[in-house]
Amino acid sequence: MRPLPALALLSWVSACIGGPPGVPATTPVPAPSGPVVFAWPAQPVVLPQVMVLDDQGARGPLTVVLSGGEITAVGADIPPAPDHAVVLASAGRWLVPGLIDPHVHLFLSGSPWWVGETLAANLSATVAADALDLPDRGRIAPGQRADLLLLPIDPRTDVAVLADPALVVVVGQAWEPEDLRAADIITTTAAVQVGGFCLDDRDCSGDARCDRVDHSCSSACDAAAQVDSDCGTQAWCAPTQGTFGDPVCRTVRTCDLYDVASCAPAPYVERCVPLDLDTSGCFAAGPQDLGQACDPFDTAAACLPGLFCSWADTVCHPLCDTAGPASCPGGTVCIDQGAVGTPWFGLCE
C-alpha cells in the first residue's frame, strides 16, 4: 500500500459508496471499493474497541457508530450493532478526526505536540475546522461529520503514521487508502499543468513536480539554491519539501534588495533575501542585529531587515549595492558575494 499523502483528505469530503448489504454484525469486513456513488452507506458502520484521540485527549477502548454520514454514537456501553451493520476490524487501532487542512507547520503550536495529550493533527483538524467555520468537522463526537482516519498505532508515538492510515472514512464510508485515490474522487488533480493543485508528483503532468510548500505543480530545475537558476525573475530553485526534496521553480513575492520598505512592515517584519542572480524574495526577519551571530536557516536567529547573514562567518552584515554609491559604515567596504566575473549583491565587511 502506498503512503497516503498528508493532504489527501482536503478534497475527500463529499463522496462515498454503499457497503455490502446483509453483513452480520459480528463479522468484520474489509473496506469496500468500486465506483463512486454520491450517497451515504445504507448500513450503519460500527468501529468496536477502538482508541479515540482528538482535542479531548486519548480515551478508550470505545465503540464508534456511523450512520447517515455522521457519527451517531461514541461510548463504552453502546448497544449491539444491528445485523445489517458493517463492522470494521478496529480493535486496538486509533481513530482520529479527518484532516481538514494538514498543510500546517506543527512547530508553530508553541509547545511540543505531545504535551497534555494534544495531538499535532489537531492543528489540522479541530483548529483548522474552527478557523474555517466548519463546526461539524474536526472532532469525534455524536453529530460530527464522519470524516476519520483509522490508524494502526498511537500517532503520538509516531506522527508520521497519519500519512499511512489503515482506513480512511469519508462521510461515513470506509476506504482502503489506495482504493480511495483510485476512485477518482479528486478530479481536479489529474495530470494538471504547472500552477495547478497537487498532492504529490503523480498529480502533475510532464516533467513538472509537486511543490509541497504551496501544493502546486511547478517546473523542475537543476539544483536547489543554484545562483544561475533559469527559473526567471519571479521564482527561484527551491526544494519541494521546504528544506529537502527534488528542486522546483518556486514563485516568490519579489523585493528590492536595497530597500527595506519593499517587504512587509511591522508587525509582520520581513527581510529581503537574495535567492539567485535575478531574484530576491521576502522572508520573515529575525531579531539579530548588526555584528551579531546568526543562522540563515533559522528564523529565530535570522537578521533584521537590511542585514544579511554572511555564509562566511554567520554574522549579520549590512547589504550594499556594489554598483551604487558607497554606503557602508565607517571602516568597512562593500564586497561582492558573487563568483569571480559574476556580480551579485554586496555585504559591508
The answer for residues whose C-beta is within 8 angstroms of residue 175's C-beta and 6 or more apart is: 31, 32, 33, 167, 168, 169, 183
Q: Residue 334 is placed in which grid cell?
A: 562593500
Residue 99 one-letter amino acid: L
> What is residue 61's predicted lDDT score, i.e. its pLDDT?
95
> Between these two residues, 259 and 22, which has the higher pLDDT value?
259
CATH 1.10.260.40 fits 8-182, yes or no: no
- Stretch 95-116: mean pLDDT: 54
Residue 92 vs residues 30, 44, 65, 85, 237: alpha-carbon distances, Å: 16, 21, 16, 20, 45
Burial (Cβ within 10 Å: 0-12, 13-18, ≥19) of residue 264 = middle
Q: Residue 58 is placed in which grid cell?
A: 486519548
Domain boundaries of the chain, sorted by first residue = 8-182, 201-251, 260-348
Helices then strands, each counted (H, E), the chain: 2, 18
- What pLDDT band is residue 121 in, cutting at 50, 70 and 90? low
> Between these two residues, 173 and 41, which has the higher pLDDT value?
173
Residue in 194, 295, 197, 304 with CA at minimum distance from that of residue 249: 194
> What is residue 266's predicted lDDT score, i.e. its pLDDT?
65
- Stretch 86-92: mean pLDDT: 88
The answer for residues whose C-beta is within 8 angstroms of residue 153's C-beta and 6 or more apart is: 94, 161
Percentage of the chain beyond pLDDT 70 is: 75
**pLDDT higher than 80, residue 181:** no
Range with the largest mean pLDDT of 4-8, 49-53, 336-340: 49-53
- Stretch 129-147: mean pLDDT: 85
The predicted-structure confidence for 141-158, as pLDDT tens digits, reads as follows 999 988 888 999 988 787
Residue 109 one-letter amino acid: S
Percentage of the chain beyond pLDDT 90 is: 30
The answer for residues whose C-beta is within 8 angstroms of residue 146's C-beta and 6 or more apart is: 45, 66, 69, 70, 71, 169, 170, 171, 172
> What is residue 24's predicted lDDT score, i.e. its pLDDT?
32
Q: Residue 104 is placed in which grid cell?
A: 500546517
- Stretch 39-66: mean pLDDT: 85
> What is residue 111's predicted lDDT score, i.e. its pLDDT?
41
Range with the largest mean pLDDT of 97-111, 232-246, 307-321: 307-321
Residue in 75, 182, 56 with CA at minimum distance from that of residue 126: 56
> What is residue 134's predicted lDDT score, i.e. its pLDDT?
79
Residue in 248, 214, 253, 254 with CA at minimum distance from that of residue 229: 248
Q: Are 174 and 45 in contact (CB under 8 A)?
A: yes
SS3 for 157? Answer: coil
DSSP 76-122: SSPPPPPTT-EE---TT-EEEEPPS-----GGGGSS-TTGGG--GGG
- Please give the radius of gyration of the chain, using alpha carbons only, rounded to the nearest integer: 25
Q: Which residues of 167-200 are buried (b: 16+ CB within 10 A; e: fewer)?
A: bbbbbbbbbbbebbbebebbeebeebebebbbbb
Residue 65 one-letter amino acid: V
